[in-house]
Amino acid sequence: MNFTPRPAPLPKRVVAGLIDAAFIVVLSGIAFAVPLFTRGIVLPMWGVLAVMVGYAVVPLAFLKRTLGLHIMGLELVGKQGHAIDLANLLFRELLGRGFFPAAWLFTIITSLVAFRYGVGGSATPPYLAGVMTVASAGALCIAAIGHVIALGRPDQRTLADLVAKSFVVEGPALPPPSDLEEFDEWKAHRLHVVIRIAVFEVVLMSSVLALPWLLSSSSGESTQGKVARLKLEALESKFKADPGSESLAADLQREYYNLGREADAQRVFEQHRHARTLKEVGREQMLRERLAQDNSRENAEALIDLLERQDRVEDASAVYRQWLGPTPQASQLAGFGNWLATNNLTEEAVVELDRATTMDPLVPLGQTLLGVSLQRLGRLEEAREHLELALLDDPQDEDAEEALRYVEGKVGRLNAKERAALKQRFEHWKNDAGPK
């Protein structure tokens, strides 16, 4: 019987393709979600491959139709009107139509998301994953171009059809036998094929759901145990990539402590501390070089902050003095004194605050800071004088008021004559804006 392929209308093919794509996405989602929520292990590529074989390849090989093609009254055939062989069908459906590279890219994206949230990751070696991702992206682009080619061809065949030597035609491509006896045999054979396909589909779908179960059961782990292990492995992988991260180190240590693995938690702590040390040594060198080139407040503060976090207060103090230079302003000295007092270098703070208030007795907060520092050193009578001056400058200064109340409780209040002398001195400073 002669057969001349006549291409099916393109709109019908598009609708059939959309129907098939929708079913493939749904079935692939089931193959992905069911093992994920029941066993905590997923084999996306196996699931998509099984779905493609079960939904498209097998029905096309024996019935020349998928569900979408059947609904639209179309068939996929070769030049003689018969079904395409399995090898060509596998190529056409998996690569030619772009489902397999799309599945791989979906797998990579989901594994990255799982890794980001610490609930899993990919078991594929990184270099292989990179090569496969690039290849899949290229194959998907080629598949997309291959579909567009059909718009410019009179036979409306895609690149996948050209390689697989297939045609999408309106069915039936070959009519059933006209002889009644032959027709009954043809019908019985077709029914037998449909039954075998149905059995195959059930077995295939069962294997899709059973394989993750077998893999997880063979390890003896529960679903919760596997999720916990995958989360721990993901955290370990992230920490290995960035051992200097505070948050990753804290999360990983907490997981190990929760599992009662104190030795591993201590190992993480030591690795993190070592990484931080190496990282901060390099950063300190860079900041010192930057400060040597530009003795700005911003550069000095960055280096001082780094040294403070390392509890190297003396080194930080030296950097502060370097930034102040030989002729600091009174306000800068007061700020330095406050920094020294905050870091429990009280005696040094008193020296710098005394220099600041000598240069400018009314430097903001200078008298208050000096009085509080003297109080901490037990030099209460000196502290009382400076706190009195601070309250003359700002009667609402709560820090000075609280410190003075404590001092007066220990050594008593100044008498009226002493207070009058302090007030006179203060008025002199105020009127003259400090010593000339």
Residues 269 and 256: their CA atoms lie apart, in Å, by 11
Are the CB atoms for 349 and 335 separated by under 8 Å?
no
Find where tokens 């050594």 sit. 411
Query: How much is the pLDDT for 435?
Result: 45
Find where tokens 């220099």 sit. 355
Torsion of CA 366, 367, 371, 377, to 10 degrees: 40
Are the CB atoms for 44 and 32 separated by under 8 Å?
yes
Residues 87 and 103: their CA atoms lie apart, in Å, by 20
Are the CB atoms for 56 and 24 separated by under 8 Å?
yes
Nearest to 30 by CA among 200, 204, 223, 234: 204
Are the CB atoms for 22 and 66 separated by under 8 Å?
no
Token pair, residue 88, equals: 């060509």
3-state secondary structure of 169: strand
Residues 225 and 216: their CA atoms lie apart, in Å, by 10
Sort 326 into a burial class: Cβ within 10 Å, 0-12 / 13-18 / 19+. Answer: exposed
**Residue 263, phi then psi, degrees to nearest 5:** -60, -40
Nearest to 390 by CA among 347, 435, 353: 353
Concatenated DSSP letters for 127-160?
HHHHHHHHHHHHHHHHHHHHHHHGGG-TT---HH
Query: N- to C-terminal Cα distance for the chain?
Result: 119
pLDDT (tens digit per residue) in 345-355: 999 999 999 99
Residues 385 and 383: their CA atoms lie apart, in Å, by 5
Query: Which residue numbers in the chain have pLDDT < 50?
Result: 219, 434-436
Find where tokens 């200097």 sit. 244
pLDDT (tens digit per residue) in 122-166: 556 677 778 888 888 898 899 889 888 888 888 888 888 888 888
Query: How much is the pLDDT for 125?
Result: 67
Token pair, residue 25, equals: 């996405």
**Left if phi > 0, otherwise alpha if psi is -120 to 50, otherwise beta: which for 107?**
alpha
Long-range CB contact pairs, 379-386, < 8 A, 24+: 380/407, 380/410, 380/411, 381/411, 383/407, 384/408, 384/411, 384/414, 385/414, 385/422, 386/357
- What residues have CB less than 8 Å from 65, skipping those under 6 apart? 59, 74, 75, 76, 171
Nearest to 372 by CA among 418, 396, 337: 337
Query: How much is the pLDDT for 226?
Result: 62
Residues 112 and 85: their CA atoms lie apart, in Å, by 37
Query: How much is the pLDDT for 356?
Result: 93
Q: Which helix (H) or strand (E) holds 170?
A: strand 167-170
Q: Specify the CATH class of 327-432 in words.
A: mainly alpha
Residues 60 and 8: their CA atoms lie apart, in Å, by 16
Query: How much is the pLDDT for 119?
Result: 52
**What are the residue ranges spanned by the domains of the chain?**
10-217, 327-432
Cis peptide before 177 (omega within 30 of 0): no
3-state helix, strand, coil in the chain (%, to 5): 75, 0, 25
